Amino acid sequence: MNSPQRSVAVIGAGTIGLSWASLFAAHGWTVRVSDPRPDLGQAIDDAVSEAAPALIALGVDVETSDLRSRITASASLEEAVDGVSIVQENGPERVDWKRELFAKLESITAGDTILATSSSSIPASEIARDIADGSRIIVGHPYNPPHVLPVVEVVPSEKTSQTTIDRAAEIYASLGREPVILKKEIAGFVGNRLQLALLREAFSLVHAGVVEPEMLDRLMRGSLGLRWAAVGPLAAVRLGGGPGGAKHLMENVGKEMEHIQLGSPTPEAMTDVAATIDEAYGQKDYATAAKDAGRAQIAILTATRKAAA
């Protein structure tokens, strides 16, 4: 019998859910997956085959066969969540759908089961709005793919108990993740708000004909992206100021940029640029592009971890 404390229900087996399932299984957890997709078994097989080499490259001691044997497709939600320590939900990004699911989860799971959503932007308080308790509901927002990118944004609502916060962070850390616990709830959390700000400006610059998508990406990869992967944007501000630090940089460089108005692209412009991006990168099929991106991310992560050791 698998120890009940290392069992997880993964609700929703799409891009994110399958990556979570592989990660939990790679760390010895019993994983039960619930999803109405007709090809669930094959999807799990494919996801494990794809994730295993990445997990091994990142130093996780896992045999692909062992990994796959720890993941089962459940016939129902009730079967999936029976006796698990944590539920990691990865269903459609729709608040109504998540509200309904979490209300059901709260009624059918044990009183100490953590109920986590992978949501990209919906706060736990919105999901728990109509739920009396809500103390077990929390956001555990990963970055795609969770089995490679280490950060999980842990975002409690005011209803979430400290025990839930602590245990969720502890579970994610036990999977080799880097939990970032937010002090306050905000729609979009921190990562996606920052990503949104940067992408809005990037889309605006492409739409205005200032730069082509590939050139903007080359610029980011060879400058800010590289710098931020090494030290993070705020530590970089401090370094940018030299011995005078962030204060010096803001006084001597920041001031001159205060007049700059950033772009605010219309939905139509965003759609146009999305088409331009797909055209620019479409010659490489999605699977190959995703595999290449995974390899590059693992190389950078391995190098930055080695440098920090």
Ligand X SMILES: NC(=O)c1ccc[n+]([C@@H]2O[C@H](COP(=O)([O-])OP(=O)(O)OC[C@H]3O[C@@H](n4cnc5c(N)ncnc54)[C@H](O)[C@@H]3O)[C@@H](O)[C@H]2O)c1
Q: Which does 245 bind (CB under 5 to 8 A by kind): ligand 2UF, ligand X, none?
A: none
DSSP output for 172-225: HHHTT-EEEE-SS--TTTTHHHHHHHHHHHHHHHHHTTSS-HHHHHHHHHTTHH
| Window of 187-195, 201-209, 263-271, 282-290 that interacts with ligand 2UF by CB under 6 A | 187-195
**In the chain, where does DSSP find H-type helix?**
15-26, 40-57, 64-69, 77-81, 95-108, 124-127, 162-174, 191-207, 213-221, 224-231, 233-240, 245-249, 255-257, 267-281, 286-308
Q: Are 282 and 129 in contact (CB under 8 A)?
A: no
Residue nearest to ligand X (CB): 14
Q: Does 102 participate in binding ligand 2UF (rule CB under 6 A)?
A: no
Q: What x/- string results for residues 121 through 150 when contact with ligand 2UF is judged by CB under 6 A?
A: ----------------------xx------
Selection from ligand 2UF, ligand X, none that 36 binds (CB < 5 to 8 A by kind) is ligand X
- Return phi, psi of residue 127, to 5°: -70, -40
In the complex, least distance from residue 15 CB atom to ligand X, rounded to whole angstroms: 4
Binds 7, which of ligand X, ligand 2UF, none (CB < 5 to 8 A, cut-off by type)? none
218 binds, among ligand 2UF, ligand X, none (CB under 5 to 8 A by kind): none
Per DSSP, 260 falls in state P
Question: Whose Cβ is closer to ligand X: residue 189's or residue 203's?
Answer: 189
Which pairs from 129-132 meet CB under 8 Å and 24+ separation? 129/99, 130/99, 130/103, 131/99, 131/102, 131/103, 131/106, 131/159
Please report whether residue 191 would count as binding ligand 2UF according to CB under 6 A: yes
Half-sphere exposure of 126 (CA within 13 A, CB side): 19
Q: Should residue 74 be labelled a site residue for ligand 2UF when binding is judged by CB under 6 A?
A: no
> 191 contacts which partner out of ligand X, ligand 2UF, none, CB within 5 to 8 A by kind?
ligand 2UF
Residue 28 vs 191, nearer CB to ligand 2UF = 191
User: How far apart, in whole angstroms, are the C-alpha atoms of residue 287 and residue 289?
Assistant: 5
Of 109 and 120, CB closest to ligand 2UF: 120
Q: Rounded to the nearest whole angstrom, what is the least distance from the CB of residue 117 to ligand 2UF in the complex?
A: 11
Kindly tell me which of 150 and 241 has the beta carbon lying closer to ligand 2UF.
150
**Residue 153 in tokens:** 């944004």
Six-digit token string for 200: 């809005």
Q: Please, which residue, 144 or 297, has the CB nearer to ligand 2UF?
A: 144
Name the binder of 14 from ligand X, ligand 2UF, none, CB < 5-8 A by kind.
ligand X
Which residues are at the interface with ligand 2UF (CB under 6 A)? 120, 143-144, 191-192, 195
